[in-house]
Structure 1
Amino acid sequence: MRQQQIEADSAGQRLDNYLLKILKGVPKTRIYRGLRKGEFRINKGRVKADYRLVEGDILRIPPLHQPAPSAAPMIPGFWAAQIAQRIVHEDPGLLVINKPSGLAVHGGSGLNYGLIECLRQLRPEDRFLELVHRLDRDTSGLIMVARKPAVLRELHRQLRGEGVDKRYLALVAGRWPKERRIVEAPLQKNIVQSGERMVKVDREGKSAVTGFSIVEQFADATLVEARPITGRTHQIRVHAQFAGHPILGDSKYSDDQAETLARSIGLKRLFLHARSLRFSLPEQPPLQLEAALDDDLEFILKNLRK
């Protein structure tokens, strides 16, 4: 049996989420069973899983088998250098990174590391670093990483509403029609036989809405700004495909014509970039952050203009 005092950074967090974070390796079912049986106590009293922690609370933790932590993965120097150079904003509660294409946001699915593991090794003095939201591995651009639990909770609250304005640039196949400003189509996650995660439009899926506007027209392609009003997996990519204009360089949601066009202009990656974020945190002025397109994507646009 051990006791742990709750610090200010964890105040307001749900008890079950806090336990899942500090008891790495303990099965989730074991933690929730202990909560139901009253094995975890706050200030000597029984509490439910959704209890919100208060600074100074004394948490009693029963004896549990917790596997020894595995060694942290070695982060290649290339990615470490890239991330260190691409910090767009930093304050006591938040980091905003211009994530490079090709780097996953976290390890898993055969990957030993991602952006968050890289940051934790680069910044060991940061006791708390958690992703606020996600970007696909091949998508570049702005991503938020919380340095305090309270900031994470506040930004999650805003993301569930309309408190965070996110804008993306995408190069799509064909000429996007000016009148098509909204794509609204429900999305359903699906696993194909190869084990690759895919998403498809399905009336049984979750509601999904994306706003699109034309930034620049080319002969066979269009640079568009995409604003995800909801936050579903692969939303912009699938909605662009559903509209008949797949994003160029997209190996999952494309067609033969778009793939041929991407090869002809020398595009070797997904042309999707999270270019701007606008939001505000309590007692701070509003933040408007932007990240310019990477050089390889700017090179593609320059060639198209010629």
Structure 2
Amino acid sequence: MRSTPPNKAAQAKESRSDANSPKGGVGVQFITVPEELAGQRVDNFLQARLKGVPRSRIYRILRKGEVRVNKGRVKAEYRLKAGDLVRVPPIRVSEGVPPAVAGDQLRRTLEAAILYDKGGLLVVNKPAGLAVHGGSGVRLGLIEALRQMYPESPFMELVHRLDRDTSGAILVARKRSVLLHVQSELRAGKMDKSYLALGVGKWPRSQKLVEAPLRKNTLKSGERMVVVDGEGKASTTRFQVEERLDGATLLRAEPVTGRTHQIRVHAQFVGCPLAGDAKYTPDEANAHFRQLGLKRLFLHSARVGCTLPDGTRVSVEAPLPAELAGLLGKLR
């Protein structure tokens, strides 16, 4: 259990920087969490303040207990409360590696991709190839770019996530109240999420629901894979055939649960893996679609829907990217 925040005298004493802080970094910092940042994960809070520090390093100082909230250890997923006192240890910022900055081209792309911006909710048509957040090997993701584009918004958090190779609609909260409300809908299964996917081969006519438990598996190479396993987590996806094409099936997929790679692995499990999927589809199948011009995973978040805290119903559709629409035209 975390201890209570220190009194003002103690805070004043502790707020002095460490004179022995590493060159290129800063001393110990004590930051009081303002009301508008309440509800933010502590790892994201630190990432926004330790510019140029790799996310892996932030996770490490959290695991080692170098970061304290009200003098107690916390995990990366801890959500901050207004008035929490966060101790940030002295940390070296990598010399010669400036903080990642969203370039003009990315900013223009994302500005054109904003599908909805009202009531503290953003809906963005995320391009394929852009990670939703920075991490191992990724210096800049969607959420970091949006925080730079909206400096007037002290709160900016992902409501849910999309795989890096998946395009389409993703929800981003600009208010804590919106984040908590929409995520409660997500947990209760009330949020609408619909994807368009291209399966290789013929989808079985009778297969409208896939219920297969999924387990994460990390290979010796470090690559993360997901497999159907009786000891995995219960996972359910609804599938509907939209169109039967030459050697492929256009599918609408609605995940009931939200497991990693769920749609991709459930499609593979049925025997109809997704076109362009380097992890779960045979190379020879992908080679055929590459010849037709497909250079990415054919999985697109086509529609998202939720309710805002004031009762407003939001439903937004993201148009299919030109490269995916073009492939469908060749298959028809």
TM-score by length of 1: 0.84
Aligned-partner Cα distance in 2 for 1:272–1:142: 11
Counterpart position of 2:23: none
Structure 1 residues 149, 220: closer, same or farther in 2, change over 3 A?
same
Aligned-partner Cα distance in 1 for 2:245–2:269: 20
Percent identity of equivalent pairs: 43
Counterpart position of 1:46: none
Aligned-partner Cα distance in 2 for 1:296–1:185: 31
Structure 1 residues 74, 53: closer, same or farther in 2, change over 3 A?
closer
Counterpart position of 1:99: 126
Aligned-partner Cα distance in 2 for 1:69–1:163: 42
Tell whether 2:66 aligns with 1:39.
no
Tell whether 2:51 aligns with 1:27.
no
Counterpart position of 1:45: none
Shift of 1:19: 8.8
Aligned-partner Cα distance in 2 for 1:76–1:66: 29
Q: Is the 8 A contact 1:212 1:226 kept in 2?
A: yes
Structure 1 residues 32, 92: closer, same or farther in 2, change over 3 A?
farther
SS at match of 1:216: strand
Structure 1 residues 208, 124: closer, same or farther in 2, change over 3 A?
same
Q: Is the 8 A contact 1:240 1:247 kept in 2?
A: yes
Shift of 1:175: 1.3
SS at match of 2:111: helix
Shift of 1:30: 6.2
For 1:126-141, list aligned pairs within 5 A. Answer: 126-141=153-168
Q: Deviations over 1:135-184 (max 9, x none)?
A: 11111000111112222222222211112110000011111122100111
Counterpart position of 1:176: 203
Letter in 1 for 2:71: E
Shift of 1:251: 0.7
Counterpart position of 1:82: 109
SS at match of 1:27: helix
Letter in 1 for 2:216: K
Aligned-partner Cα distance in 2 for 1:106–1:173: 30
Letter in 2 for 1:292: P
Counterpart position of 2:89: 65
Shift of 1:237: 0.5
Aligned-partner Cα distance in 2 for 1:182–1:84: 37
Number of corresponding residues: 288
Shift of 1:7: 4.4
Shift of 1:219: 2.5
Aligned-partner Cα distance in 2 for 1:88–1:51: 28
Counterpart position of 1:229: 256
Aligned-partner Cα distance in 1 for 2:289–2:85: 58
Counterpart position of 2:223: 196
Q: Which runs of 5 or more structure 1 residues have no equivalent in the other structure?
A: 41-48
Tell whether 2:212 aligns with 1:185.
yes
Letter in 2 for 1:39: K
For 1:255-270, list aligned pairs within 5 A. Answer: 255-270=282-297
Task: State which drifts further: 66-75 or 81-90.
Answer: 66-75
Tell whether 2:314 aligns with 1:287.
yes
Aligned-partner Cα distance in 1 for 2:33–2:286: 54
Tell whether 2:152 aligns with 1:125.
yes
Aligned-partner Cα distance in 1 for 2:79–2:263: 36
Shift of 1:39: 3.5
Letter in 1 for 2:240: S
Shift of 1:104: 1.0
Aligned-partner Cα distance in 2 for 1:169–1:223: 7
Q: Is the 8 A contact 1:178 1:213 kept in 2?
A: no
Q: Is the 8 A contact 1:186 1:205 kept in 2?
A: yes
Q: Is the 8 A contact 1:246 1:258 kept in 2?
A: no
User: Aligned-pair RMSD on alpha carbons?
Assistant: 2.8
Letter in 1 for 2:274: I
Structure 1 residues 103, 184: closer, same or farther in 2, change over 3 A?
same
Aligned-partner Cα distance in 1 for 2:93–2:146: 18
Letter in 2 for 1:88: L
Q: Is the 8 A contact 1:228 1:235 kept in 2?
A: yes
